[in-house]
Amino acid sequence: MFSRPGQSRSSDGLAPPARDPSQLWRLLRYVRPYTPLLSLGILATLLSAGLSLVFPKLFGNLIDASFLKTGGGSGPLDRIVLLLLLIFAVVAVFTALQTLLIARVGVRVVADLRRAVFGHLLTLSPRFFASRRTGELTSRLTSDVSTVQTVVSSALAQLLSQVVTLVGAITLMVLTSFRLSLFTLALIPIVIGAAFTIGRQIRRAAREVQDKVAAANAVAEEAISGVRVVQSFTAEGLELGRYSVSVEESFLASMRRIRLTAWLLGSMTFLALGSLAGVLWFGGRQVLSGTLTPGNLVSFLFYALQVGINVGGLTAIFSQIQEALGASSRIFELLDTHGDLPQPKAPTPLARVEGRVTFQNVSFRYASDPVEGHVEAEPDTGAPILSGINLDALPGQTVALVGPSGAGKSTLVSLLPRFYDVSGGSLCVDGVDVRQATLEDLRAQVGLVPQETLLFSGSVAENILYGRQDATEAEVQDAARAANAEEFILNLPQGYETAVGERGVKLSGGQRQRVAIARAILKNPRILILDEATSALDNESEALVQDALEKLMVGRTTFVIAHRLSTIRRADVIVVMDDGQIVQRGTHAELIAQGGLYKDLYDLQFRSERRGREMMSDAG
């Protein structure tokens, strides 16, 4: 059923992962490289927490010295105040040091985790990305990783500080008044029980919030990347409606989490303040009876307050950890996704490739339904895309692939750089099965110039250098010159240093294509794939690009997919595909003489082009 305007699009289909009890330890493994810094930060935290336990006792002594006039004169009072100020200053220094060190560790760990996730994503095959949405993946890379930062940095230090302060405060409470301590500590099991019960619900709610935010990001990313289409169909309202639905869903999920957090914090606050009121009542009676001094009661109240604050703080930390673990499950879900392109244990090197490409009874089909944790967990079970492909391209030969849309041409050439693996048969380069070579070795020998050229948002020079990053400035210029790109590049405002904009939007289609060809020339591959590289260009741009492509093709084994059959008439071999099979092969003249599908396609296109020229002539 079609979704209606205003409905959010479906998610990426990733099911919530199973809860991993060791997930927190897995997160903490990213902290190991920064153990020295973290240790210093923890030491500063412990010293700060320990010193904070001293001042309540001194404050109680100050009260007794002031009101009971113990020790005689103002000397003791002055010494106590000076000692308090010194302790406060030392605590301030250690607190600042703790914040600086642990925050640095947290930021570094987040950067490492982002690199790990991004690096892993780059290793996955196109099959994975075909079933995922870009906005959802970037959400995991950004917001989810930021949420995890609380666990690996501040939450850890706060947890230690709260525990040390809590244990110390309870110990000093007992030493100050055992009976009053029993009265106060009776509420702690209730507080801890409430924290764990509501905390588990907060963790589930946090996972839901991350999912909903990711879905909203995916909708926004799609609309922004396709803004020209959106505006051309005046579909701004439609996209706003879809995004609004996603935002509203994330808002409702956030409110569920906020209500749980508010209920948890509110309950803890009531229990803490209620116990404080009880302490004042019970302790006041002990002061009136003479079994407790006013100073000791004040000290006890400070310790009790510290216990309440730290129990509440531990509850908040527990809530933060639950949120971070909900986000980390989504991160590790990506890191645990296995690719469908296994690397050989003993790879065969592809050092000096001549460029012979052999397809032997190749078949291919897509998996029907990738499952959680795997790009492809089972054998390919989808509809067959290719079957019985036998083709032998000799070194330096140009092989043209033609046929109707959906015939399998692009799928066939996608097997060569091993974007996908064959489902049956074998694909060999110079007699080596591509599955027995490393992806790096194989793809170093293959150059690709697609129809939809993707340039990155750097400069023209940076995009050309993508072909070989260690190339010299002269080599970059030579490549641009060979691609018929130097003239327009030098006319740009900053020449080779001109920024091309996102996806090369500041350049025309022909200019982008020539930069892509320069990039391929610089790479200098032995095998070249041209996937309808001129079909979207005007006649003038096509002539320039075609001339550059002919220079690029010299001495290389080239596979050409061409929409305009007139551009492949000089190919060494023309392979005609239909419904995933090779139905004809030969030179242009041979195929015209044979008749069949190729001649039908050629005649149809020739008539269409002739009518177009006649219409333009009549209009002139």
User: 58 and 122 in one domain?
Assistant: yes
Residue type, 159: L
End-of-domain residue from the set 519, 544, 564: 519
pLDDT (0 to 100) of residue 359: 94
Give residues with Cβ within 8 angstroms of 288, minimum separation 6: none
Q: Are 353 and 429 in contact (CB under 8 A)?
A: yes
The CA distances from residue 136 to 9, 50, 244, in Å, are 12, 45, 16
User: CATH code at 427?
Assistant: 3.40.50.300
User: 556 and 478 in one domain?
Assistant: no
User: 87 and 71 in one domain?
Assistant: yes
Which helix or strand (DSSP H or E) is residue 387 part of? strand 384-393
DSSP structure class, residue 140: I
Which helix or strand (DSSP H or E) is residue 576 part of? strand 573-578
Residue 149 in domain: yes
pLDDT (0 to 100) of residue 54: 77
pLDDT (0 to 100) of residue 393: 92
User: 542 and 508 in one domain?
Assistant: no
User: 82 and 63 in one domain?
Assistant: yes
User: 311 and 365 in one domain?
Assistant: no
Strand partners, 432: 429
User: 239 and 135 in one domain?
Assistant: yes
Per DSSP, the residues of 528-548 read EEEESTTTTS-HHHHHHHHHH
Residue 13 in domain: no
Residue 346 in domain: no
User: 548 and 411 in one domain?
Assistant: yes
End-of-domain residue from the set 269, 301, 335: 335
Residue 280 in domain: yes
Residue 10 in domain: no
- Unique residue bearing structure tokens 């764990």: 196
User: 437 and 463 in one domain?
Assistant: no
User: 187 and 156 in one domain?
Assistant: yes
Question: For the chain, what is the domain count?
Answer: 3
Per DSSP, the residues of 36-59 read HHHHHHHHHHHHHHHHHTHHHHHH
Residue 590 in domain: yes
User: 460 and 433 in one domain?
Assistant: no
Residue 106 in domain: yes
pLDDT (0 to 100) of residue 358: 93
User: CATH code at 318?
Assistant: 1.20.1560.10
The residue range of the domain holding 464 is: 455-519
End-of-domain residue from the set 519, 551, 569: 519
The upper half-sphere exposure of residue 470, i.e. CA atoms within 13 Å in the direction of its Cβ, equals 0
Q: Is 500 helix (H, G, I), strand (E, B) or coil?
A: coil
User: 465 and 386 in one domain?
Assistant: no
| Token representation of residue 122 | 């780059």
Q: Is 214 helix (H, G, I), strand (E, B) or coil?
A: helix
Residue 132 in domain: yes
| Token representation of residue 301 | 């109240």
Compute the CA torsion angle 21, 18, 317, 50 (nearest 10 deg).
10
Mean pLDDT split into 10-residue runs, the chain, 620 residues:
40 42 71 84 82 75 64 62 81 84 82 86 80 75 75 70 82 82 72 70 78 81 74 76 87 86 77 72 78 79 78 72 75 79 83 88 73 41 80 92 88 90 91 90 86 81 87 89 87 89 81 86 88 65 75 86 76 91 91 88 70 52
